[in-house]
C-alpha cells in the first residue's frame, strides 16, 4: 500500500475484501474476555490492577476513564493548540434554563470566531457518546435541552475534511522519540436512494449496515419512512466511532517518518503524555503522510484502543496480538512512572470515575 499511497484517494481504500470480519459484531463481553484476562495477568505480574493510570501520570486516571476533554485541551501548550480544532465550553446549568445557557454559549462562540455548523459534544464521554453536528441556534437549543444539568459540554469547529484517522501514539519514558503503534482510516457508511425504497429498507438491504441495523435505525428513527431520490446519498453516521457505526481500515502501511515526527512533537506539547490516540481530520493522504495538513479534533489517553483491529480484513489472532501489546505498553509505561515515584490511583476512585462516565453516557443526547 505504501508504494502508491501518495496517489491514492480515500475512496480507493474504502472497500475491504470482506464486508465485515467474523468477529466485528460480536457482543463486547465475549470479544473482550481474553483482553480482560490478559489485563489481570499483567496486574499480577506488576502487583497493581490500576498501574495503567500512570501511563499518562499528569492526566486524570491516566486517561483510562472519566477524563475531562476541556482539561486535556487546556493542558496543551499554545503551540500544540494550534493543531487542535477551536472550541468553547460551558457547564450546563439548571435543566430548565436552556435559554440562558444558549445565550452564553452563542456569545462564547461568537467571541471565538466559531460559525455554524458546529460540533457539540460532552466534556466527559467516550465512543462518540452524545456527539452531534448542530447547524443553527435552534438545533443547538434542542441539544442543550437534552443535555444533563451540571455536566460540561464543548462546542467545536467542524473540520470539513473528507478524511479522518485515529493515530495511536506510544512512548516509553526513557525513549528519545515515540512511535505510532496504530493508524486507522475512518469511513462513514452511506446508502444511495433508488427513488422507491424507504431509508429503513435501504439500511436493511445494505450489505454492511444490515449486519448491525441497531446502530443506524434508532439514529434515523424520525425519517425511516422517507424515500430518498434516485442517486441521493444518505450518510448514516457522523461520529467516527466503530460502536456508532463508522467503518475502519488499517492504515499502518501509510505511516511515515515525517508523520511519526509530527505526532511525537504534538504529543510532547501535552505534559506527561506517553500513551493515547489522536483523532484527526485531514484533506489528503499525501498531506497527512507528510505530517501536515491535519487538525486534531480530540485526543484520548489510557482508555484508547488500537482501532485498526476493526478493519474487516483483520484476522482474530492478529487483533488479539495487537490488543495484548497495547495492554503491555500500558503496564510497562505505568511501571516506569511508578519507579520514578508516581503512585497509581486507587481501585475505588477509578471505579467511581468509570461508573460516573457510564451514567453520563446514558444521559446524553443521541449520537449522530
Assign 244 a pLDDT band (cuts: 50, 70, 90).
Answer: low
DSSP assignment of 280-296, as one string?
EEES-HHHHHTT-SEEE
The pLDDT mean for the chain works out to: 91
DSSP-derived pairing of the beta strands 179-187 and 118-122: unpaired
Question: CB-based contacts of 283: which residues, under 8 Å, 6+ apart?
Answer: 161, 162, 163, 293, 294
114 secondary structure, DSSP code? -
Tell me which fold the domain 86-158 belongs to. Answer: Dna Ligase; domain 1 (3.30.1490)
Q: Residue 240: its pLDDT value, please?
A: 58
**Cα torsion angle, 85, 86, 91, 94, sign:** negative
Q: How many CB atoms lie within 10 A of CB 4?
A: 8
Per-residue pLDDT tens digits for 22-45? 898 899 999 999 999 999 999 999
The pTM of this model reads: 0.90
- pLDDT tens string 297-341: 999 999 999 999 999 999 999 999 999 999 999 999 999 999 999
Task: Judge whether 319 and 37 are in contact, CB under 8 Å.
Answer: no
pLDDT at 354 > cutoff 70: yes
* All cell numbers assigned to 198: 424507504
CA within 13 Å, CB half, 311: 24
Q: Show the beta-strand stretches assigned E in 124-232.
A: 132-134, 152-157, 163-170, 179-187, 190-192
b/e code 327-338 from CB counts within 10 Å (16+ = b)? bebbbbbbbbbb
pLDDT at residue 230, rounded to an integer: 94
Q: Looking at the chain, which residues constitute the CATH 3.30.1490.20 domain(s)?
A: 86-158
| Residue 55 CB coordination number (10 Å) | 30
Residue range 60-117, pLDDT digits in tens: 999 999 999 999 999 999 999 999 999 999 999 898 899 999 999 999 999 999 999 9
Angle at 37 between CA 36 and CA 39, to 5 degrees: 65
Query: Is the peptide bond preceding residue 117 cis, with omega within 30 degrees of 0?
Result: yes
- Write down the pLDDT at residue 243: 66
Q: How confident is the model at residue 5 (pLDDT cuts 50, 70, 90)?
A: very low
H-only helix segments in 77-231? 78-81, 98-111, 137-145, 199-205, 214-217
% residues pLDDT > 70 (the chain): 94
Grid cell 460551558 is found at 90
The yes-or-no verdict on residue 135 having pLDDT over 60 is yes
Amino acid at each position: 500500500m505504501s508504494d502508491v499511497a501518495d496517489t491514492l484517494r480515500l475512496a480507493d481504500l474504502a472497500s475491504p475484501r470482506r464486508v465485515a470480519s467474523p468477529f466485528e459484531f460480536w457482543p463486547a463481553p465475549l470479544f473482550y474476555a481474553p483482553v480482560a484476562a490478559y489485563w489481570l495477568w499483567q496486574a499480577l505480574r506488576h502487583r497493581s490492577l490500576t498501574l495503567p493510570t500512570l501511563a499518562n501520570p499528569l492526566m486524570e486516571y491516566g486517561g483510562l476513564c472519566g477524563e475531562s476533554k476541556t482539561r486535556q485541551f487546556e493542558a496543551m501548550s499554545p503551540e500544540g493548540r494550534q493543531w487542535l480544532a477551536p472550541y468553547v465550553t460551558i457547564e450546563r446549568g439548571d435543566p430548565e434554563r436552556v435559554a440562558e445557557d444558549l445565550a452564553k454559549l452563542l456569545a462564547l462562540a461568537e467571541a471565538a470566531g466559531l460559525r455554524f455548523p458546529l460540533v457539540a459534544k460532552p466534556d466527559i464521554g467516550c465512543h462518540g457518546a452524545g456527539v452531534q453536528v448542530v447547524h443553527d441556534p435552534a438545533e443547538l437549543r434542542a441539544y442543550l435541552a437534552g443535555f444533563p444539568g451540571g455536566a460540561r459540554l464543548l462546542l467545536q469547529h467542524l473540520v470539513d475534511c473528507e478524511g479522518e484517522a485515529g493515530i495511536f501514539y506510544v512512548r516509553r519514558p526513557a525513549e528519545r522519540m515515540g512511535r505510532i503503534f496504530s493508524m486507522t482510516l475512518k469511513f462513514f457508511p452511506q446508502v444511495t436512494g433508488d427513488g422507491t425504497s424507504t431509508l429503513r429498507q435501504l439500511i436493511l438491504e445494505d450489505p454492511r449496515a444490515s449486519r448491525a441495523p441497531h446502530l443506524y435505525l434508532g439514529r434515523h428513527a424520525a425519517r425511516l419512512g422517507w424515500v430518498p431520490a434516485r442517486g441521493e446519498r444518505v450518510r448514516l453516521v457522523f461520529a467516527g466511532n466503530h460502536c456508532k457505526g463508522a467503518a475502519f481500515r488499517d492504515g499502518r502501511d501509510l505511516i511515515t517518518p515525517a508523520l511519526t515526527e509530527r505526532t511525537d512533537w504534538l504529543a510532547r506539547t501535552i505534559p506527561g503524555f506517553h500513551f493515547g490516540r489522536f483523532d484527526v481530520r485531514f484533506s489528503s493522504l499525501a498531506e497527512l503522510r507528510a505530517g501536515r495538513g491535519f487538525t486534531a479534533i480530540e485526543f484520548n489517553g489510557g482508555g484508547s484502543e488500537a482501532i485498526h483491529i476493526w478493519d474487516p480484513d483483520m484476522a482474530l489472532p492478529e487483533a488479539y496480538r495487537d490488543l495484548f501489546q497495547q495492554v503491555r505498553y500500558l503496564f510497562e509505561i505505568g511501571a516506569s512512572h511508578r519507579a520514578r515515584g508516581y503512585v497509581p490511583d486507587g481501585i475505588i476512585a477509578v471505579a467511581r470515575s468509570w461508573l460516573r462516565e457510564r451514567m453520563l453516557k446514558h444521559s446524553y443526547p443521541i449520537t449522530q
